[in-house]
Amino acid sequence: MNLARLLLAFGLVGILGGCALGGPPAWEQEAPPIRTGPVVDETRLHRGELSNGLTLLVFEDARLPLVTAGLTFRRGAGIESRDEAGVAGFMAELLTRGAGERTALELAEVVDSLGATLEAGAGWDTTSVQVAGLSRDLDSLFGLLGDAVLRPRFEASEAEKVRGELLAALEKARDEPRELARRAFAKALYPDHRYGLPQSGTPEVVAALGPDDAAAFHRRVFTPGNAILFAAGSAGYAEIEERAEAVFGAWEAGPIPEPAPAPPALAPAERRIVVVDRPDLGQAQIVIGHEGIGRTDPERLAAGLMVRVLGSSGFTSRLMGRVRAQEGLTYSIYAYLSMRRHPGPFGVSTFTRVAEVGRVVEIVLEELARMRDEPMTDAELDAVRRLSAGGFVLGLETSADVTGALVDLAAYGLPPDSLDTFRSRVSEIDLEQVTEAARRVLHPDRAAVVVVGPAEVLRPQLEPHGPVEVIQP
C-alpha cells in the first residue's frame, strides 16, 4: 500500500467516523426557533384574597420539604422624602428585633432553633418580610411571620442598637470604591430627588431616627390592601390559606400610601464629570450614564434588549467584546437599567487601571453613540432575542424564583400572565423598536461620568470630555 492509499484509507475512516457521529457538528446546525408558551405550571399556582383585601399567591413545589412565605408591601424607600432617607430600612430591620411576646434575642433563638430564617428589608418600591424553613414547621413559621408583620415591638433600646449598626454600615460603605462610585453617580443624576441618596439613607437622617419614626412608617405602609402574601414550597394552597386567615384575617384595612413624585425627566441635564479622590487606588471604578426608564414603561422589553446587546449579554456584548476581549482593559463591564416605579439610572459600570481610564471612558461613550446612531444588525437582534427568551426559564427554576417574579409583577400592577407571555413578546420585538429605544434611552452627549481613583492622575485624562469636579470620599 503506498502512502497516498494509506492516507486515503485513514481519511475514509475519519469520514465514516464522522458519519457515525450523526452528521455535521452541532455548532454548524441552526438554533431551533425560540420556544414560546407558558412557563408557570398553572396546576401548582393558586391565587386568592382575604376579606380585608390581602392578596394570596401560592406556588406549590413538593421537590423538597421546605417552604418560604412572606409579605411584600407595595411601597419602600422610594416614598421617603430626602429628610426621611433611611426610615424604611430602619423600620424593616426593627421588625426582627423583638415582636409579639418575644425580645430580639428570644425571637432569634426560636428562628435559629427551627433552622429557619426571618428577614425583612426595604427596596425602592417594596418592603418585604419573609420566613423560610422546613415545611413541617409551617405553623411556627407563620406565627413568626405574623408577629414580625403585625406586632413588632419597636423598643427604644433596640432602635438605638439598630441605629448604631446602620450608621456604622453607612460609614464602612465609604471604604468600598464601588460603593463610592455608585453614590457619587446617584448624586450626580438626582441632586434634589430621593434617588440621589443611598437607598439605605443618610447618616444625618439615620442618626435622628427613633422607634416612633419606625412605628409611623409601619402604620403608613403595612396595610393588608397594600400587601401580597406569598408562599412557595411544600405546602398546599388550603394549608396556606387557613394559616393566612388565622394570622392575618383580623388585620384591619387601611389607606394605601401615595407614590412619591417623579425625578426630573433629564438627569443630568448636561454632562457632568465627577472624580471621587482616592489617591491610594491603582484601579479606578467608573460609572457612566443618566436617567433610564421606569419598571412599567411600555418600551421596557425593547430597551432591555438594546441594553443587553450593548453591555449585558455576557462575553458577547459590544462593550465586553471591545473593552475586555479585544483590549484587555478590564475584567468586567456591564450596562444596566435600574427600573423602578420612576425612571432609575441607566448606567455602564466598569473598572480599569488608572492609566487607562481616559481610554475606557472614550470607548464607552463611543459605543453609546454607535448604539444610538447606527441601527443594530438583524443578527445581533436575533441573537439577543434568543438569549433573552432562551435563558428566561433558567431564572424560574425554583418555586421561590417563580413566586418572586409573580410578586414583582403584582407589586407594579403588571399583567399577571407576563411570565407566560414573555418569550413571545420578546420574539416579536423588531429592529425598529430597538432602534427607537436606543434613540430614546441613550444620551452619551449629556451622560454623567463618575470615576473613583487618584484625582491628580485622572483629571488630565477626563478633561477632554468636559469640566471635572473633584470631591472627597
Partner 1 sequence: MRRATRLAIVFLVACTVCGSANAESYDDPAARTRLTEFENGLRVLTLVDRTSPIVSFQSWVDVGSGDEGRFTGLAHLFEHMMFRGTENVPGDLRDRLLRERGSRGNAFTSNDFTVYFEDVSAEHLPLVIELEADRLANLIISPEVLDTERQVVLEERRFRTEDNPQGRLVEALLALSFVAHPYRRPTVGWMSDVEQVQVEQCVEFFDEYYVPGNIVVSIAGDFDEEATLGLLRRHLGRLPAAPKPARNPTLEPPQQGERRAQAHASVRGPLLGAAWHAPASGHADAEPLDLLSAILSAGFSSRLNRRLVYEEQEALYAYGGYWELKRAGLFYAAAGVRPGHSIERVEALIYEEIARLANEPPTPAELDRAKRQLEVALVSGLGTNHALASRNAEELLTFGRIRSLDERLQAFAAVTAEDVSRVARTYLTPEGRSVVHVVPAPEETP
Among positions 169-228, residues that touch partner 1 (CB under 8 A) are: 169, 171-172, 174-175, 177
Q: Which stretch binds partner 1 (CB under 8 A): 46-54, 312-320, 427-435, 441-449?
A: 312-320
Out of 4, 19, 31, 265, the only residue in the binding site for partner 1 (CB under 8 A) is: 31
Q: Which residue in 99, 228, 339, 389 binds partner 1 (CB under 8 A)?
A: 389
Buried b (16+ CB within 10 A) or exposed e, 64-94: eebbbbbbbbbbbbbbbeeebbbbbbbbbbb
User: Is 61 or 367 the residue whose CB approaches partner 1 more closely?
Assistant: 61
Site string for partner 1, 359-388 (x = CB under 8 A): -----------------------xx--xxx
CB of 325 to partner 1, least distance (A): 6
- Give 45 or 396: the residue with its C-beta nearer to partner 1: 396
In the chain, count H helices and then E strands.
17, 12
Q: Measured between alpha carbons, how far is 27 from 400 in angstroms, rounded to an integer?
A: 34
Sequence-ordered alpha helix ranges (H) in 325-417: 357-373, 378-390, 399-412
Residue 32 lies near partner 1 (rule: CB under 8 A): yes
Is residue 316 a contact residue for partner 1 (CB under 8 A)? yes
CA–CA dist 166, 164 (Å, integer): 6
Alpha-carbon gap, residue 256 to 122, rounded angstroms: 17
Residue 60: phi, psi to the nearest 5?
-85, 140
Choice from 43, 315, 415, 467 touching partner 1 (CB under 8 A): 315
Within residues 130-149, the interface with partner 1 by CB under 8 A covers 133-134, 136
Residues of this chain, 330-349, that bind partner 1 according to CB under 8 A = 330-332
- Using the contact rule CB under 8 A, the part of the chain among 79-87, 220-228, 268-276, 318-326 near partner 1 is 318-326
Question: Could you say whether residue 421 binds partner 1 (CB under 8 A)?
Answer: no
Phi first, then psi, for residue 400 (nearest 5°) are -65, -35
Omega cis (within 30) before 255: no
List CB contacts of 288: < 8 A, sequence separation 6 or more: 347, 348, 361, 364, 365, 368, 447, 448, 449, 450
Judged by CB under 8 A, the residue of 353, 440, 446, 465 near partner 1 is 353
List CB contacts of 410: < 8 A, sequence separation 6 or more. 55, 57, 72, 228, 416
Residue 459's H or E segment, with its range, is helix 455-462
- In sequence order, the β-bridge partners of residue 313 are 315
Cβ-in-10-Å burial (0-12, 13-18, 19+) of 36 comes to middle
Residues between 50 and 89 with contacts to partner 1, criterion CB under 8 A: 61, 63-66
> Minimal distance in Å, beta carbon 115 to partner 1?
3
Contact between 391 and partner 1 per CB under 8 A: yes
Q: Is there binding between residue 314 and partner 1 (CB under 8 A)?
A: yes
1 binds partner 1, rule: CB under 8 A: no
> Does residue 232 contact residue 59 with C-beta atoms inside 8 Å?
yes
CA distance linking residue 426 with residue 23, whole number of Å: 32
**Shortest spacing between CB 263 and partner 1, in angstroms:** 30
Q: Least separation, in Å, of the C-beta of 249 and partner 1?
A: 29
When binding is defined by CB under 8 A, the residue of 187, 194, 220, 278 that contacts partner 1 is 278
Q: Count of CB atoms within 10 A of residue 283's CB?
A: 16
Decide if residue 351 touches partner 1 (CB under 8 A).
yes
Q: Work out how close the CB of 352 gets to partner 1 at its nearest, in angstroms, rounded to a whole number.
A: 6
280 binds partner 1 (CB under 8 A): yes
392 binds partner 1 (CB under 8 A): yes
| Smaller CB separation from partner 1, 36 or 52 | 36
Q: Please give the residues from 84 up to 123 whose contact with partner 1 meets the rule CB under 8 A.
A: 96, 104-105, 108-109, 111-116
Total residues in contact with partner 1, by rule CB under 8 A: 75
Site membership for partner 1, residue 33 (CB under 8 A): no
Segment contacting partner 1 by CB under 8 A, of 50-58, 261-269, 292-300, 308-316? 308-316
Q: Computed from CA positions of residues 124, 122, 246, 65, in that sequence, does the dihedral angle turn out positive or negative? A: positive
> Taking CB under 8 A as the rule, does residue 25 contact partner 1?
yes
Considering the complex, state which of residue 79 and residue 320 has its C-beta at the smaller distance from partner 1.
320
* Cβ–Cβ under 8 Å, residues 57 and 406: yes
CA–chain centroid gap for 400, Å, is: 16
C-beta closer to partner 1: residue 322 or 372: 322
